[in-house]
């Protein structure tokens, strides 16, 4: 059965009154994205060059050699570029594992993942090796390790072996995801907390005899649904399908509906950029301001990546 919803054109703003699952639909134009696109386009840098790859998110950085020791002012500008573009990309950076770790450590202490083996001589590096025998499973929007009290503030991912076709990584802007919500939803979620639980994704990888101890070591944690970024002061959504089990204090059905509604914000192409990997490409993302999605469209080809993750502060309202 076909249904028709009335749409009113007020100037250049489209008003769409229909609803899905009790929450307003997002309707363009995405004025917040346009404003961010123009703001980013006006940025100029002293020690690097940046080319935007998405309207509100993503830039390819050139003029910097990450394999060499970098001056403090260059690191400071890379950090600022990360905060502005949310994810930054570098080409032709044949970093050794030692250089990878040294670069990432310029931005903070590195984490050691308790569930994903490093598969390298450096415990701070997580190695992802996918092939015909080991298929990709990261094809879902998520922030990394939000089940930690202090999740990663960022991650530096190095492309080692790249498929001839496929295996791109997508990133979605969580500032824009929040800004595009209607006022009613913003008010609803302002003081809500989400429960993040590692067992949502990694529970099946923990041997049964170790689960009780791992639960003691890594209990479920709560983080605000809407956080204030520690460096930029901007508000962003902090809910993902992979690690969030429920909204604290909310009825189960309402919780599921709200989580789905908020997570669908990442799905809007207007909030996204997409990175096509090459050997020795680097992606450095702000794990608070973006979610990412690794496309698993390259099987049975080989895809090998190494990641260093930087510990951040506890998310705060």
Q: What residues act catalytically? A: 142, 144, 292, 307
Q: Which of 200, 126, 130 is nearest to 163 (CA)?
A: 130
Token representation of residue 182 = 């209607």
What tokens appear for 100 in the block?
């990878």
Task: Give which of 295, 302, 310 is closest to 279, Cα–Cα.
Answer: 302
Question: Per the structure block, which two tokens stand in for 146?
Answer: 């939000």
**CA dist 210 → 71, 106, 213, 217, 270 (Å):** 45, 35, 6, 11, 43
């Amino acid at each position: 059965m076909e249904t028709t919803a009335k749409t009113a054109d007020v100037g250049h703003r489209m008003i769409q009154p229909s609803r899905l699952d009790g929450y307003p639909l997002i309707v363009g134009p995405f004025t917040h994205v346009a404003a961010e696109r123009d703001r980013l386009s006006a940025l100029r840098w002293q020690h690097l060059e940046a080319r935007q790859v998405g309207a509100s998110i993503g830039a390819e950085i050139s003029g910097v050699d990450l394999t060499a020791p970098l001056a403090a002012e260059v690191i400071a500008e890379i950090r600022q570029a990360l905060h502005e573009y949310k994810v930054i990309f570098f080409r032709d950076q044949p970093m050794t594992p030692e250089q990878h770790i040294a670069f990432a450590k310029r931005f903070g202490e590195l984490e050691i993942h308790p569930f994903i083996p490093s598969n390298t001589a450096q415990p701070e590096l997580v190695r992802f090796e996918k092939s015909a025998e080991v298929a990709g499973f990261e094809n879902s929007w998520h922030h990394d390790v939000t089940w930690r009290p202090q999740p990663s503030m960022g991650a530096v991912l190095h492309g080692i072996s790249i498929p001839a076709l496929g295996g791109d990584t997508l990133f979605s802007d969580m500032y824009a995801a929040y800004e595009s919500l209607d006022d009613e939803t913003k008010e609803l979620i302002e003081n809500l907390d989400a429960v993040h639980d590692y067992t949502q994704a990694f529970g099946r990888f923990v041997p049964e005899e170790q689960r009780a101890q791992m639960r003691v070591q890594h209990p479920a944690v709560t983080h605000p649904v809407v956080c204030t970024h520690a460096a930029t002061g901007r508000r962003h959504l902090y809910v993902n399908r992979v690690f969030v089990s429920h909204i604290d204090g909310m009825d189960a059905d309402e919780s599921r509906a709200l989580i789905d509604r908020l997570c669908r914000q990442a799905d809007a192409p207007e909030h996204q950029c997409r990175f096509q990997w090459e050997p020795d490409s680097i992606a450095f993302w702000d794990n608070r301001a973006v979610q990412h999605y690794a496309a698993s469209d390259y099987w049975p080809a080989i895809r090998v990546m190494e990641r260093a993750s930087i510990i951040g502060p506890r998310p705060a309202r």
